[in-house]
Amino acid sequence: MHLVMGSDHAGYTLKEHLKPIIIGWGHAVKDVGCHCEAPVDYPDIAEEVVKIIKSGQADLGLLVCGTGQGMAIAANKVPGIRAAVCSDGFSARAAREHNDANILALGARVVGSGAAELIVKQFLESSYSGGRHQRRLDLIRDIENKYLKQGEK
Ligand code: RB5
């Protein structure tokens, strides 16, 4: 699996903790930053991760900020991106199996490093189930298309 990861300053330490663990599981990891604890704006990092996924250079993304929420909100502005904030392994697995989530967003101020490892493992080891879920993903794509045409009001 090719994974692209990014964090803001609030998620930096957790991102750095997770990176060698994920590599140790056999995945290829691209880190778009940040690279220290100096404040950065999470939408900029979310967009960098999204660009790598949209270009096909990565299969999945991992975004870490204080809560995971800002990263997910920013990433989900891009059509075709399905970013899920997860604080438990069950949700991470369901996000892949039911929602075909392509980004996991973690909150470094919400989950500890041990829980984060388990959440990421569930996310990476689960895959989309298809079947009845596809109709719902198609409906999400319809919403994207409708509002893309309509534009910002
Ligand atoms: C940064 O203080 C914090 O707002 C950010 O990491 C994130 O939690 C936003 O959603």
Per-residue pLDDT for 149 more than 60?
A: yes
**Inter-residue contact 144 to 49 (CB < 8 Å):** no
Mutate to test the pocket of ligand 1, among 65, 69, 76, 110 (most ligand atoms within 8 A of CB): 65
Q: What are 19-54's pLDDT values in tens digits?
A: 999 999 999 999 999 999 999 999 999 999 999 999
Around Cβ 118, how many Cβ atoms within 10 Å? 13
Q: How far is the CA of 137 from the centre of ligand 1 (A)?
A: 28
Q: How far is the CA of 8 from the centre of ligand 1 (A)?
A: 8
What residue ranges do the domains of the chain occupy? 2-150
Q: What are 109-128's pLDDT values in tens digits?
A: 999 999 999 999 999 999 99
Q: How far is the CA of 133 from the centre of ligand 1 (A)?
A: 31
In the prediction, which pLDDT does 152 show? 55
- How far is it, in rounded angstroms, from Cα 14 to Cα 63? 10
Q: What are 77-105's pLDDT values in tens digits?
A: 999 999 999 999 999 999 999 999 999 99
Residue nearest to atom 8 of ligand 1 (CA): 66
Instruction: Give the predicted TM-score (pTM) of the model.
Output: 0.97
Largest CA-CA distance found in the chain, in angstroms, rounded: 47
Residue 65 among the catalytic residues:
yes
Q: Would you state the CATH architecture of domain 2-150?
A: 3-Layer(aba) Sandwich (3.40)
Protein residues with CB under 6 Å of any ligand 1 atom: 8, 10, 42, 65-67, 69-70
* Alpha-carbon 131 to chain mean position: 23
In the prediction, which pLDDT does 150 show? 77
Residue 34 among the catalytic residues:
no
